[in-house]
Structure 1
Amino acid sequence: MVHEIDRRTLLAGLGLAGIAGLATPGTAAAEPENPLDLEFHIRAKYRPFDLIAPRFVQYDSAIGRVRSALVDTGVRPRAPYGSVLVEVRSLEGTVSAGLVGNRTVLGTYDGTNVTIEVDGAAVASAPAALTAPFGFAVVVNENAVTVLADPTATGTGWQPLLTARDQVRERVDLRVPDVLGQLNYGYGGDGDVLIGRVRAGYFGQAGVRDPHVVQHADGRPYIKNGKLYLTMTNAGLGFFQQAHWAVWTLDLADPTRLEQVATLFFARDGVVLGDHAGQIVVDRGRFILAMSSWGDFDFKGVHVRHVATTANVLSGVHVLATEQLALPTTVSSWDPALTKIGGRWHVAFVESPAQQPAFVFHPALAAGPRGADYDQGLALVGADTSVDQTEGTILQRFGSTWYVLASDGDARQYKVYDLRMRLLGTLNAPYGTNIPHPMTVPVDGSWWLLTFDGTQYAEPVLGYGGHGDFIVMQA
């Protein structure tokens, strides 16, 4: 896809290596600091990867021999982001997995080819040579269906063999609730197939990006039982539409312990989507969610959406209806950051006048009237239009002073602005591949910077979008 290549070129950068280990912190607020005086170093770098999010397994069973049968588990996802994993112990015939019901969306392997089919008609096929025992998986991300195999049969060697999106969408739209609501996870065999364990549940991630700490309205990070809550974009097996949003916890005593605790989807325009890249604010018994409309991105614009709810979105599975946030801009927008400063809601965001033939985007800041809610009367405070590859806006207080942080992909720097969007300088921190966000957070008298990089997963098969590694820095 030409557009994906353009985006990939825009986001490309230098490599970044990580070092394991981090001093054990507590949860107290950091001492006042000037962000320009801090020096950050990488302390941990790793890759979350799960075809099924560990807390979101919906079906788990030991099976046995299957002969010419397609098993309906009776369990379904609430959004088109799910996986079926099958242990194949012996195969004399065809193994299949996917969604079944009044229609079928399946991936199959017959010993020679892997095939993706809708209602029994093949829409994509590729040769493959697998020797039992092996793992076989079919993943649905939006309308993209991907077949993977694990030749090691250990659950640690998953590699994609075949993916199809447009061919599937021509026949069925899994984003439509009435369509998905008639489909369950399924699996089976045609011929003589010996199956071990079968699991099904909500898709996890091929990588993570866009970390944003869950915070209180005044900017304090949301920490509970020694764990920092944050949202991240869970990279899907493909482009932006295949990703979705999730809530994670980071153990402050061990930053290599990252756990997904909620998975979030959004209903709009008659479909359920994986909109992502946003923030959650805890405010007076409600949760304010703001996110970017990447879930149906087709190079025709992006905008910020929002919803306020009393549902506990920090746990479980949620499908929430959203509305467009009335930002003071006439162009595309994404990466919202909300904080109440001096009695006024401030919203930092990205403005983007173009996404093709190349992406152009810069940071901006809006503020509302004193006493107004976060979505009322927002007016533009300022924007840095001198840059055109700068995103990942963050509002953060250092000492008694508030700043806007953003990531400049051209300069390969984390820029620091005041609340009038005047450039003050840049953070002294490693800058890796892609456009890593400068998510700074105070922890026990120190500062952490949580970010990501552009390390792809299986890009030759899946294309751009399956990034990145999670990176923890400390000042």
Structure 2
Amino acid sequence: MTEGGIDRRSLLRGMGAAGCAVALPGLLTAPAAAAQPVRTPFDLHFEVTHKFRPFDLVAPRFTQYDSAIGTLDTLVTTGVRPKAPFGSVLVEVLGVDGPGAVVAGLAGGGTSVLGTVDPSAGRATIEVTTNGTTTVVKTAEVRVAGAFRLALVVNENAVTVLVDTTGTGTAWQPVLTERDRVRALLDLRVPAVLGKLDYAYGGRGSGSVRLGRVRAGYFGQAGVRDPHVVQHADGRPFIRDGKLYLTMTNAGLGFFQQAHWAVWTLDLADPTRLEQVAVLFFARDGVVVGDHAGQIVYDDRTRRFILLMSSWGDFAFRGVHVRHVTTTADVLSGVHVLPTERLPLPTSVSSWDPSLTRVDGRWRLAFVESEAQQPAFVFHPALAVGPPGADYADSLGLVGADTTVDQTEGPIIQRVGSRWYVFASDGDAREYPVYDLAMRKLGTLDAPYGTNIPHPVLLPVGRDWWLITFDGTQYAEPVLGYGGHGDLVVMRSKG
């Protein structure tokens, strides 16, 4: 598959915390007297303990419409709409009587973006209606009979039709997707456009459709990546009721613009109990986008949340930069659309993957520098620091960067023992380099290295250390192309 005529595989080669231990029952695997203190990162020896993939076309906590329907032959608008162009409509089809099609999508005020499945014609379509004119932007063959399920997903301006012929809602397969031809007709990122469109569903044709349950709401994820612990300014992890809060990039059904950012909780007694608790979108340049790959820091002194994120939401191979915003709103729950500004970093090239911590009264910010994104990505870790007593965005100066590597990202600032370190991920060497706060390489972590460029999120839990990361496992790449990754991976080093 290609993006703009460039081979994604070669172009995107490998694209892909806290100092407070948490004591939890059941996690202490040896008596205290037998445990050896962890003094440096090189005392840690990680093994994979959990690997799984969150997948939801509608995020469970963010369903906006849920109803049992009946027989229809027209389009129904729900009066409910998303705040950002990241939503899904899931339709349980009990049967189609006579010639006709099942329809789902967004509609209102004479404008619509709809997906259709016509069982008798064996065809699925994506169509856009503006100014009274309907344009079928893409079609595909589809074979369904009897009961099945239909989903229409909007990720930014990408529209995807999926079906589940098992009727269970657990075996979704995309049959067609289109972004560029949708965007040529309307821009769903513009609030004035999206603000007129409701979730919609129904039937058309001379027959009728029999529908069961219809659900609509904010799109969940086809996978997750770029985990980062939500933390206090001094590096302590944000934990409530035994649950760790972390941000992750929710993979969309396609390339980086189709992803968005969310807050999750991970139960430290059972890492497979993962729950999305907030959805974050960002307003800039007159549109709402799903910028992601960042961090949330709670500053106890000022009682505000600091959000840092990377500008992947409108990435078009013309550079990436770090953006930021502060707020007193509870961004750890609910749906938020926040205005952001560009963060002034001490670099003249692209940047992403910010990691912020206040150490010894000075804000330190690790990030990725990237001097090129085509014909191939080139990127390495860097570290900036502010003056004593200054705010996190003020007068940042470059401490150093490792320019000996060119496929290294995911920097994490974390204390192990009595010292602070910068951890990163080198996709070429397939290892996790460890740096001091002068960006001198000290060695590498002893941890399995999977596919893509897995970020090394270290976390002390009881006497153990965990490493939370992801891999490059794709979802439906032949239809959707690169970007629908990955699995969540949890490792543990016994204390």
Q: Tell me if the contact between 1:3 and 1:357 (Cα under 8 Å) persists in the aligned partners.
A: no
The one of 51, 57, 62 equivalent to 1:51 is 57
Cα offset, 1:446, TM superposition:
1.3
Match of 1:15 in 2: none
Q: Is the 8 A contact 1:24 1:252 kept in 2?
A: no
Determine if contact 2:12/2:377 at 8 Å carries over to the other structure. no
Alignment equivalent of 1:344, drawn from 362, 366, 369: 362
- Which digits, 9 at most, give the CA deviation of each residue in 1:320-364, with x for residues without a partner? 000000000000000000000000000000000000000000000
| Counterpart AA for 1:73 | T
Please tell me whether the aligned partners of residues 475 and 484 of structure 2 are also in contact (alpha carbons under 8 angstroms). Answer: yes
Answer yes or no: is the 8 Å Cα contact 1:32–1:400 preserved in 2: no
Amino acid across the alignment from 2:328 = T
Counting only pairs closer than 5 Å after superposition, residues 308-457 of structure 1 correspond to structure 2 as 308-457=326-475
Alpha-carbon distance in 1 for matches of 2:146, 2:54: 27
Alignment gaps of 5+ in structure 2:
17-23, 29-35
In structure 2, the partner of 1:222 is 238
Structure 2 residue aligned with 1:25, among 21, 24, 27? 27
The match for 1:206 is 222
Q: Residue 414 of structure 2 contacts residue 423 of structure 2 at CA under 8 Å; is this kept in 1? A: yes
Aligned to 2:317: 299
CA distance in 1, matches of 2:26, 2:385: 37
1:194-239 per-position Cα deviation (integer Å, ceiling 9, x unaligned): 0000000000000000000000000000000100000000000000
**Number of paired residues?**
462
Map 1:15-414; keep pairs closer than 5 Å.
24-25=26-27, 32-67=38-73, 69-92=74-97, 93-102=100-109, 103-111=111-119, 112-119=122-129, 120-190=134-204, 191-284=207-300, 285-414=303-432
Instruction: Letter of the 1:7 partner, please give it.
Output: L
Displacement of 1:400 in angstroms is: 1.2
Residue 9 of structure 1 deviates from its aligned partner by: 3.9
Tell whether the 8 Å contact from 2:366 to 2:412 is kept in structure 1 after alignment: yes
**Whole-angstrom CA distance in 1 between matches of 2:272 and 2:37:** 24
Q: Given that residues 24 and 254 in structure 1 are in contact (C-alpha distance below 8 angstroms), is that contact kept between their aligned partners in structure 2?
A: no
Query: Does the residue aligned with 1:424 lie in a helix, a strand or coil?
Result: strand
Query: In 2 relative to 1, CA 96–232 (structure 1 residues): closer, same or farther, beyond 3 Å?
Result: same
Deviations 1:416-450 (A, max 9, x none): 00000000000000000000000001111211000
User: Do 1:46 and 1:471's aligned partners in 2 also have CA atoms closer than 8 Å?
Assistant: yes
Q: CA deviation at 1:11?
A: 4.8
Say whether the 8 Å CA contact 2:13–2:377 is kept in structure 1: no
Tell me the percent identity.
70
State the match for 1:5 in structure 2.
9
Is the 2:56–2:219 contact (alpha carbons within 8 Å) kept by the matching residues of 1? yes
Contact 2:296–2:308 (CA<8 Å) still a contact in 1?
Answer: yes
The TM-score normalised by the length of structure 2 is 0.92
User: Which residue is equivalent to 1:18?
Assistant: none
What residue ranges of structure 1 are gaps of 5+ in the alignment?
A: 13-21
TM-score, scaled relative to structure 1: 0.96
| 1:121 Cα deviation from its structure 2 partner | 1.5
Per-residue deviation at 1:173?
Answer: 0.1
Structure 1 counterpart of 2:31: none
RMSD of the alignment, in Å? Answer: 1.3
Letter in 2 for 1:431: Y
Q: Which residue of 1 aligns with 2:33?
A: none
Whether the aligned pair in 2 keeps the contact of 1:79 and 1:265 (CA below 8 Å) is yes
1:456 is paired with a residue whose SS is: coil
